[in-house]
Chain A
Amino acid sequence: MDRIEGTTINRRRFLQALGAVGVAVACGPAAPTGASPAPSAAGSATVAAAKPVSIEWWRRNYTAGTQNAETLTSDGAVKAFREKNPNFTISIQGGPFGPETDQKFDIAILQQKAGPDVFHTTGGDVLKYAAAGQLSEPPLTAAEKADFNTSALTATTYKGKVVAYPLWIVPWFEYINLDLFKERGVTPPTDGNWTYDQFLDAARKLTFKRADGKQIYGFAHANDEFAFMLIDGGRLYDKDVKKWTFNSTEAISGLEKWVNLAKEKVMPPDYLTLNPNDSQARFIAGEIAILQRPSAMINVLNADAKWKYGTNWDIANFPKGATAQTAWGGVGFIAVREQADADKKSAAHAFAKYLTGPDIGPDLKKMTPPIEYWLAPAARTSAAGIYGEYHPAKAKVAKMGSFTYVLPNVSTWAEIDQKYLRPARDAALEGKKTAKQALDEVAPTAQRLLDEANK
């Protein structure tokens, strides 16, 4: 556990405080069991004035003393929040992204019913914890709910109740190497918009071998993708997330468009095993003209002196298919763990609301040195503006939320995706099955797993 500057209690005092709270709770009146009280700004100020409260925040990829984005923004967030609420003590516990940390969360929250008071979470975890009754319902007003992106709010809804605070939407889009476009005489898409045919034509022209033997590929993506299957309007589930629909005509034609890219050999030969980091490295090395990656890569390029936005790189939308412009994205959430300690729960909600609200971005921007809090566009309209202020590329990305398809949360999604959908996709891309055969074969198993998730 890492101590944030300004929080001076040691472990013994921390445990003593916890013990005292435990005794107080045990001896005092029963804690409310329903939704926690609304931690309005005034409420949080009341708690602040009343007594000290210690809460624990679990943040993936936080490593005290390092300069990674999660650490800098987390430390900054705690510092800014404590300036407004000096009686709060917030400890941050980190852990790398990956299944080991996911398991640590599961054991603490689901088995031990302990651990973080507030935590970052993604995907199916929200529903998993909600189903186990381990999430405290955010006390959002109707106006606050209306402020959040609808699809992000839907992704955090379990049995009709919003169970976590949507933090941000991470959109995927195309990064383009303008030097390569220029070298091959290809016109970049106007305002980042292109049809699939224009995209394919560009990818073809941008796939070439230089005189020195260096092979350049028009397009690449990491092996965790399925975005092309969305561009003709194909969607994984119906609106109620009850029926698997990813073998619809639209999904099949989307996959066929993707298969075309493989047939045209505009992707590097290792596209089926190309991991995200390697795909980024290959783009940075100038071997890929168009790379499909999420918004986090903007900072990677900005950190490299040779990459200048607008001069040798730009961003563009997904190629437009048979329906309206679409994009694909994931959502990050802040959740508050259900617990008997009303003070802690209230403090955790106040902090979660701050982490996802409109004040944190400007607060961190005022710090010395300024900290960019939003690593992706905010999932809340009132907080969205500042992301675009950080960088012109981000200003473009900030507009993508309106057409970004956010994957609905299904607790068995990882199994559907990794065990069945990706191999089927591979079979189609390799030409071993038609797009229809591949998606039809997956459908019954995916439906069974979806039904299981909906039980």
Chain B
Amino acid sequence: MRAALRRYGWSYLFVLPTFSLFVVFTLLPVLQAFGLSLQSARIVGGEWIGLQNFVTLAEDPVFRQALGNTVLYSLVVVAAQLTLALVVASLIQPLGRKSQTFYRALFYLPLVNSAILVAMVWRWIFNPNPFGLANTVLGAVGFEPLLWIGSSDQALAAVILSAVLTIPGGGVVLYSAAMGSLPRELYEAAEVEGAGALTKWWYITIPLLKPTTLYLLVIYTILAFQVFERVYVMTSGGGPNNATITIVQLIYSTAFQFGRYGLASAMAVVLFIMAVAVAVVQFRSLRSDVEY
């Protein structure tokens, strides 16, 4: 051990800069958030209050609403994005090399757009006025305009729809790359047995993509839990009657508008625990070695 350390110890110097940045800008703030969550912290100090912030959250109807909205948003959006990414990647896969590259780029490019700009476009699409794009389309096919983001009944659905209708370019690229590395002989064997395209997709492609699916599931779930800018821009904060308020939106306003850093940190801790718990469950239920 000592010999190994003497021989390779210097290599830790190479990871030191990145590790230092990680400690200063990620690890310490996370630990500080845990500490703040147990205090009545405002901008000027605070007192140790134990778990009182968590009790306050449990009793706060706005936090419960934010929690419910975040869970609902995540369930629908993650399921839809995974399905869409898988379907789009599967449609791209049979194409020629150049066409594959073209479509991968096509679906990935929108990701480089500013999330705020994208949200502003969706705000216009779901504008409750007749000139909103969605209402224009509804009008063209003979339906009455909807209130979309202008109604507490429809605002969350509009936000979710905006996320669902945005094809997840990252997922398409990852699935597409994973599909390209699947062994051809399994498909050939299936073809010999008379399997059709859908059967091969269902019984070979999807099971073999399990590691990629697990990765995307975890990442998309965490991203969905963190939804903020879409809600902030599309519905001017939490929407009519707090209809679209999410946990991160509430963390933002609680910390930076109401100055309750302790309470906001407690929300962040709850979100952290949710993300870890869901990730553990996802890993346990989907983890399996795929060999081919």
Question: Which A residues fall within an 8 A CB radius of B?
Answer: 99-100, 102-103, 106-107, 110-111, 128, 132, 215, 223, 268-273, 275, 412, 414-415, 418-420, 423, 426-427, 430, 432
Q: Please judge, given known A-B contacts A106-B43, A270-B149, whether A418 and B253 are in contact too, CB under 8 Å.
A: yes
Interface centre among A99, A269, A427 (most CB of B within 10 A): A269
Interfacial chain B residues near A430, Cβ < 8 Å:
151-152, 240-241
**Taking the complex as formed, is B235 at the interface, i.e. its CB lies under 8 A from any CB of chain A?**
yes
Contact B129 A270 (CB under 8 A): yes
Contact A427 B129 (CB under 8 A): no
Interface residue B201 (Cβ < 8 Å from any Cβ of A): no
Minimum distance in angstroms from B88 CB to a CB of chain A: 32
CB distance from A411 to the nearest CB of B (A): 8
Given A419-B62, A427-B241, A430-B241, is A270 in contact with B257 using a C-beta cutoff of 8 Å?
no
Q: Chain A's nearest CB lies how many Å from the CB of B17?
A: 27
State A99–B264 Cα separation when bound (angstroms).
15
| A-B contacts, 7 listed (Cβ < 8 Å) | A110-B44, A111-B44, A412-B258, A415-B257, A418-B258, A423-B62, A426-B241
* Chain B residues within an 8 Å CB radius of A99: 256-257
Cα distance A214–B260 when bound, in Å? 46
Q: Which residues does chain A contribute within 8 Å of B256, judged by CB atoms?
A: 99-100, 102-103
Question: Looking at chain A's contact residues, is the secondary structure mostly helix, strand, loop, or mixed?
Answer: helix
- Residue of A132, A414, A432 near B44 (CB, 8 A) is A132
- B235:A423 contact, CB within 8 angstroms: no
Asked whether any CB of chain A lies closer than 8 Å to the CB of B68, the reply is no
A56 to chain B, nearest CB (A): 20
Contact B253 A271 (CB under 8 A): no
A273 touches B241 (CB 8 A): no
Evaluate contact between A269 and B258: CB separation under 8 angstroms: no
| B130 proximity list for chain A (CB < 8 A) | 215
> Contact partner of B152 among A132, A271, A420, A426, CB < 8 A?
A426
B259 at interface, CB cutoff 8 A: yes
A320 to B215, CA, bound (A): 61
Find chain A residues with CB under 8 A from B150 CB.
269-273
CA distance A275 to B44 in the complex (A): 32
| B99 CB contacts on chain A under 8 angstroms | none
> Could you list 5 further interchain pairs (A-B, Cβ under 8 angstroms) beyond the known A270-B149, A273-B128, A414-B258?
A111-B43, A418-B253, A420-B62, A423-B238, A432-B152
| Residue from B130, B149, B242 with most neighbouring chain A CB atoms (10 Å) | B242
Contact A275 B253 (CB under 8 A): no
